[in-house]
Amino acid sequence: MATNQKFTFRRAKIEDIAAVRQMIQELADFEKMSDGPKITEKDLVRDAGLDGGQEYCHIYVLEVQTEEKPTLAIIGYCICFYSYSTWQGKTYFLEDVYVRPAYRGLGAGAYIFRAVAAKAKEYNCQRLDFHVLSWNPARKFYDRMGAIDLTETEEWHFYRVNAEQIEKLANEL
């Protein structure tokens, strides 16, 4: 758990998942994909291993204590998981990072990003990967944080095969 005078970054607990799911929807709304999230609170609990099962992702929350609210309030979240590079070994993938709009500009985004980098280091990961929509103004933030845009520097493109196409390809065997 990482803390400073304002923020606390920690792994999510079951009782945090409703807030995380709500912020997932807020992020989808911001990304103009309001109908995108199909995942449920139950899915998040299961996939984070919070029910005692297999852990597929790490869900973190960012809390803040303000003068108006003496108790900690969840103001952001991120979801990460391990991936693998045949060139470098274990890597950490940042699937989502989100700070509620009312708390932006206070250093919360930088804090959560640095905390994720610290987790990647703690887990002996060789790099931290993530993707960002081309129109998202946060790209300037990531540049300031020292992230490298692989689309520009290495000409990598991010591809996806969706569930329907997976089914089609599997049935062609």
Q: How far apart are CA 107 and CA 112, in angstroms?
A: 9
**142 catalytically annotated:** yes
Catalytic pick among 77, 111, 142, 159: 142
Q: Per the structure block, which two tokens stand in for 1?
A: 């758990």
Contact 134, 152 (CB under 8 A): no
Q: Smallest Cα–Cα separation from 75: which of 5, 145, 1, 7?
A: 7
Contact 132, 138 (CB under 8 A): yes
> Measured in whole angstroms, how far is the alpha carbon of residue 36 from the centre of its chain?
16
Residues with catalytic roles: 142
